Amino acid sequence: MRSLAGRRQRQRRKTRGQSLVETLAGFMILIPLGLVAVNIITMISCSRNNSEWAEQAARAAAKRLDGSSAEKAAENAINLCTLNNVITNVVVESVNYDLSEGQVTVTTLMDVKLPVPFPGWSTVQFHNASAQPIVATPAPI
C-alpha cells in the first residue's frame, strides 16, 4: 500500500512541475509576440496617418497657381500635423507640380519611434505619395 501512495504522490509532483515549466515556456513565447503585435499596430496606425497627411498636403498644393506656392502650401499643411512620442517627424519630401498632366504629387516622409524597441529595430520611416488634380489652373479662353 505504501508504494502505491508514494507512486501517486511522485506522479502529482511531476505533473505540477511539468505544468509550471509549460507555463513559463508559454510566457516566454507569448510576451514577445504581444510586444511585436504592439509595434505592428503602431506601424499600421502611423502609416494610415501618413497617408491622410500626404493627401491633405496634396489638396492644399492643388489649390495653388504655381509650383513654389504649391510647395509652401504643402509644407504649411504638414506643419499643422500634431507630433507625439511615437511620430517624431513629418516632412514634405517632394512636390511635383505638373501643369501638363494637370496634377500635383506630394511625397511625405514620417519618422516613427516604435513603442517597444527591439535590437536594430527602434525607428521606422514611412514614405507616402498622394496625387491630386490641380484645381487652381485658369481655364483657357
Alpha helices for the chain (secondary structure H)? 2-62, 67-79
Residue 19: per-residue pLDDT: 78
Q: Is pLDDT at 8 greater than 80 in this prediction?
A: no
Distances (CA, A) of 95 to 5, 22, 58: 82, 56, 8
38-82 confidence digits (pLDDT tens): 999 999 999 999 999 999 999 999 999 999 999 999 999 999 988
Residue 78: per-residue pLDDT: 96
Sequential DSSP letters for 1-29: -HHHHHHHHHHHHHHHHHHHHHHHHHHHH
Residue 9: per-residue pLDDT: 64
79-137 confidence digits (pLDDT tens): 998 899 999 999 999 999 998 888 999 999 999 999 998 888 899 999 999 999 999 76
CA-based radius of gyration for the chain? 28
Please give the model's pTM, rounded to 2 decimal places. 0.78
Q: Is pLDDT at 16 greater than 90 in this prediction?
A: no
CA–CA gap between residue 11 and residue 4 (Å, rounded):
11
pLDDT class of 12 with cuts at 50, 70, 90? low
Residue that the C-alpha cell 504643402 belongs to: 74
CB atoms within 10 A of CB 103: 15
